[in-house]
Structure 1
Amino acid sequence: MTTPDPQTSPKYEDRVHRSGGGIAGGVLLLGIACWLGIDAIVAGEGSTPWRALAALLLVVPLIIAFTLRPAVYVGDDRLRVRNPFRIIVLPWGQIEALRSGYSNEVFVKTGGKFQLWAVPVSLRARNKAARREARRTAQDGGPMGTGGGGRLGGALGGGLGGSRGLSGGRGAGSDGPVRAESDQVMDDLRELLEQRATVRSAQGEVTVRWAYEVMGPAVAGAVLLVILVVVG
């Protein structure tokens, strides 16, 4: 019986992170846009149906790009980031750091950085997590100025760029501080980066591909709409 090589054997299953709020908002916006657009196409007169069609051709891809499309695919060897207009493939060995502030970003060793649209920062969620951590600390009897304050500081400081691992806690039932969902996702990514950055299979080049399947229809719709407005 052979022992798996820790440098090549996978430790994590592939998973996908998306914004639930973004998806819900996108579905709502698509419903409104299609309702108004189809109504204008059916009931409109003159050039109105054509303008409505051009507007839909412009608006629908943009709504999809900014709400339904963003996703972060976490693999054992690489991180694939699908942003509104680009797809970035980042081998773990090329990632310098993952940072959180008012947005979540990944920095590469070549000096570039990319925003994680699918993992948006929620200041409200952070504040809620901090309040839950404060209540838990008070219930545990820890003084806020000593051990309890340190845990509360971890809940706040980690979300603003700290590099805590999975032990950073997932809720009230864990030993670590209570974390906002997006901050916990970033903690998971940081731990995976720490473990996989030097693995042979996680090396390679950073690749960036533009999403022409989104940009093309949007540009065509914009051009057509401008022409229809100018022609009248």
Structure 2
Amino acid sequence: MSFIRHSDQEHFVSCEDQLPKLHGFHNFACSVSGLIILLLQLYPVVLMMKRYRDMQDMDAVLYLVSLLFLFYLNLQQHVTGYVPIDLDSGGGLHSIFLSLWLNNSLGSKAHVSCNTARFVGYASAVIFIATNMFYPSKQEIVFQVLSPPFALYTIITMGIRSYKYRNDDTRKGAWRKWCRAVVSLLAVQVLVKVEEMFICDNTIVARLFHAVIIHSVIQILFQSVSTCAIEIIAHEKRNRNEKEA
């Protein structure tokens, strides 16, 4: 079994860890696909800039930055075998800023007041980063305590809001993207366990399974989440503008 070290903690990353390095990369195949999926995360950024300029507020910017940062951490992990901030914490930051964007996009109808949400979210983000920098042995505990509320909020509110507006969308795009994201999330968990338990003994498959299969599903997951959130917020903004007109 092969693991990656982050400070004094070890985590399974991919079967490629135990194979000979290629071209100086810790995980060559995963580094190549990791770069590809990092670049693909620019799609929601371009989408926001071209089609939804009126949605470019601080919450949206922070979410997109956290998305790119998460995929940068994934790439660095595969290239060097080391990450300055644990990938779980990167995922936690992504959940925090996505939940802030979703909540604050509702304006006066936000589930939690925008200022309160930002205070809680920013404080949680600082705790994530500070724990990784100064108390890495506590990172997993902090992640398990802080991350679930934000993750559950994003999953539930995106599901409810995309389902609510599905009749206004002939393609049911947001609802389908949410369903795809949920299936992809479950698939990633299963595939990582399959890789860890069964794949590492096969050299050829071990080199490509994580790089091709798992990274492809991860790309589907995050692309679905990002575009679903954009469509939900854009739809709600159009509705508010129509009512005010």
- Greater strand fraction, Structure 1 or Structure 2: 1
- How high is the TM-score relative to the length of structure 1? 0.28
TM-score by length of 2: 0.27
Q: Max radius of gyration: which structure? A: 1
Tell me which protein shows more helix as a share of its residues.
2
